[in-house]
C-alpha cells in the first residue's frame, strides 16, 4: 500500500474523494507542517519548513492505481516536470509515526493564505 497525506478535495466526504475511493485501503487522521493557500475550488499546500504552521488532513492508503489516479487529478507527471501543477514529495506526520506522499505547490504563487489549518473549516466559513 502507498500512504498519501490529503488535505483538500480528496478528503473523505469532499468533492474529489471519488477519485481515490475505489483504491482506498485505510484512512487515518493526520497533520503535517505547511501552510494552505486558496486556489478557489481547491487548496494548495506549501511546505514552509516552519513548525508554527500545521495542516490538518488524512493519511490514506491506496493501491498503485490509486496513486496513478491522484497523479492525473493533481496534474503531476514526474519530479520537476514543467507541466506539473503540483509536486509530489515525501513527508512525515507531525507526530513522526507516519510518512508518505503529499501533493503540494513549491511556492504560494501569490495566492491568499488560509488562516486556519483545515480546508474543511475554511470551506465552511467561505460558504457562510
How would you label 59-81 residue by residue, b for 16+ Cβ within 10 Å and e otherwise?
A: bbbbeeebbebbbebbebeeeee
74 an active-site residue? yes
Inter-residue contact 60 to 20 (CB < 8 Å): yes
Q: Could you give the CA distance from residue 24 to residue 113 in angstroms, rounded to a whole number?
A: 30
Catalytic pick from 74, 85, 97, 99? 74
Q: Which residues are catalytic?
A: 74
Amino acid at each position: 500500500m502507498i500512504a498519501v497525506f490529503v488535505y483538500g478535495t480528496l478528503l473523505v466526504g469532499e468533492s474529489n474523494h471519488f477519485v481515490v475511493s475505489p483504491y482506498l485501503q485505510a484512512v487515518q487522521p493526520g497533520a503535517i507542517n505547511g501552510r494552505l493557500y486558496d486556489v478557489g475550488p481547491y487548496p494548495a499546500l506549501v511546505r514552509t519548513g516552519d513548525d508554527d504552521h500545521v495542516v490538518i488532513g488524512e493519511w490514506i492508503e491506496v493501491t498503485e492505481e490509486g496513486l496513478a489516479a491522484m497523479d492525473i487529478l493533481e496534474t503531476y507527471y514526474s519530479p520537476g516536470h514543467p507541466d506539473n501543477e503540483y509536486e509530489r514529495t515525501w513527508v512525515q506526520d507531525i507526530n513522526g509515526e507516519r510518512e508518505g506522499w503529499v501533493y503540494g505547490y513549491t511556492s504560494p504563487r501569490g495566492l491568499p493564505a488560509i488562516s486556519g489549518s483545515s480546508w474543511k473549516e475554511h470551506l465552511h466559513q467561505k460558504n457562510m
